[in-house]
Structure 1
Amino acid sequence: MSVSTSAPESGVAVVTVDHAPVNALPVRGWYDLADAVRAAGRDPGVRCVVLAAAGRGFNAGVDIKEMQRDAGHGALLGANHGCAAAFSAVYDCEVPVVAAVQGFCLGGGVGLVGNADAIVAADDATFGLPELDRGALGAATHLARLVPQHLMRALYYTSRTATAAELHAHGSVWRVVPRAELRAAALELAREIARKDGTLLRLAKAAINGIDPVDVHRSYRFEQGFTFEASLSGLADRVRADFGRTETGGPR
């Protein structure tokens, strides 16, 4: 597991997640990411944070295998608290956060980018919540920040994904570029933001968060309650097993 922070130019910090093979993060990884984003935002020399990932995709959500190895509920509780910490770190970061998204952005990935201030995406990026296929719930709070309400519901119920081009048409993605140009495009936007006065940017971030129509912390916590219910009742395990048989060609 690797979360690293770099400073490619004045005023800009890049927090990069690199957890092969698909950036599905274990509990510790979510907390490491939260710590890195918060630390970057607290740095008085930083005026914009770029959230990026190495590898084929931006983020594939939580590490399901970690939860399956746990006979109790510790990993489930850890994943839920860890995700909440990372999502909150992005939302509450003292300076604007630009998400640079390539490939798949699923589950917890949507939670991260849905709380970012701006999104730059590669033209191969796809966004979605396969939660119902995985026996889970959550992050509708964040998907609702990316697409209109009825589209969010349809995507959630079907586990389908939306492309970067589709999100750009809805206004939630700032720019779509070829994958090879993603880092440069994200840095270009971050550089423009970082030209502003640092203190004023921090005031602007606090002011914009303060006028949000939905409290993302409370609404996501509400969703998590239903995730716990599905897991504690055994429903989540049954759905995951059923989905696994379908994926391998077995009877449904």
Structure 2
Amino acid sequence: MSVSTSRPRDGIAVVTVDHPPVNALPVQGWYDLADAVTAAGRDPAHRVVVLTAAGRGFNAGVDIKEMQRTPGHDALIGANRGCAAAFAAVYECEVPVVAAVHGHCLGGGIGLIGNADAIVASEDATFGLPELDRGALGAATHLSRLLPPHLMRPLYYTGHTLTARELHRYGAVWELAPTAEELPEVALRLAARIAAKDGYLLRLAKEALNGIDPVDVRRSYRYEQGFTFEANLSGVSDRHRDSFVRTRSPEGDRREVTP
């Protein structure tokens, strides 16, 4: 697991997550990501942060294998708190955050991009919340920031995914890149336009926009997580997670969701 920060252009920090095979993050990974985004935004040399990932996809949520091999509820609690910390770090980053998405963006990935200030995506990107299939609830708070309610709700209930082009049509994606290889340049183009503004004013603007949001994303997401705990206490979550582990792909795909 690695979270690295680079500075490809003046005023721009790029935070990159790399956790093969599918960027399904362990508990510590969520905290590492939160720390990296917070530090990048706090650095006065930065006026915008680009959040991206290496490998097969942007993010596949939590590492369900870690959760199922850890006795008791420690991993579940850790994942809940780690996800909340990472999502909040993106939302509360002192400068605007541009999420650059390729491949799959599932579960926790929706939590990250739903709290970003802008999204760019490659044509191969897909977005969804397969929470109910994994015995979990969460990140509807963030999906609702991307889509109108009567689209968000059936997506949440069914676990259906949308393409990048569909999200672009609904106005949630700023710009599409034809390929994943071209995505970094698309992301940097938007980041450069933002970074060209006065850094002090950008920080004021970010704080002001958060202050007028109609929903408290921290409180809303923690409310959702309470129902995930209820599902776990009932035993239904373990049944779904155990089934997922038994039927995982031969490649060891640890694709998972947000608790």
Tell me, yes or no, if the aligned pair for 2:64 and 2:241 is still in contact at 8 Å: no
* 3-state SS, counterpart of residue 112 of structure 1: helix
Deviation per residue, 1:57-94 (Å, 9 max, x gap): 00000000000011100000000000000000000000
* 3-state SS, counterpart of residue 209 of structure 2: helix
Instruction: Give the distance between the partners of 1:165 and 1:103, measured in 2 at CA.
Output: 13
The answer to whether 1:60 aligns with 2:50 is no
Q: TM-score, normalised by structure 1?
A: 0.96
Deviation per residue, 1:174-213 (Å, 9 max, x gap): 0111222100000000000000000000000000001111
The answer to whether 1:107 aligns with 2:104 is no
Aligned residues: 248
Q: TM-score, normalised by structure 2?
A: 0.93
Read off the aligned partner of 2:213 and give its amino acid letter.
D
> Which residue in the other structure is 2:255 paired with?
none
> Which residue in the other structure is 2:38 paired with?
38
> Which residue in the other structure is 1:222 paired with?
223
Deviation per residue, 1:12-37 (Å, 9 max, x gap): 00000000000000000000000000
Shift of residue 238, structure 1, vs aligned partner: 1.8
| Distance 1:4-1:207 versus aligned 2 partners, 3 A rule | same
| Distance 1:48-1:247 versus aligned 2 partners, 3 A rule | closer
> Which residue in the other structure is 1:71 paired with?
71
Tell me, yes or no, if the aligned pair for 2:98 and 2:117 is still in contact at 8 Å: yes
Shift of residue 244, structure 1, vs aligned partner: 6.0
Read off the aligned partner of 1:22 and give its amino acid letter.
V
**Larger RCO, structure (CA 8 Å, separation 6 or more):** 2
Instruction: Give the distance between the partners of 2:151 and 2:247, measured in 1 at CA.
Output: 26
Root-mean-square deviation (Å):
1.2
Shift of residue 243, structure 1, vs aligned partner: 5.3
* 3-state SS, counterpart of residue 49 of structure 1: strand
Matches within 5 A, 1:105-144: 105-144=105-144
Which contiguous aligned blocks of 4+ residues in structure 1 show a shift greater than 4 angstroms? 242-248
Read off the aligned partner of 1:162 and give its amino acid letter.
L
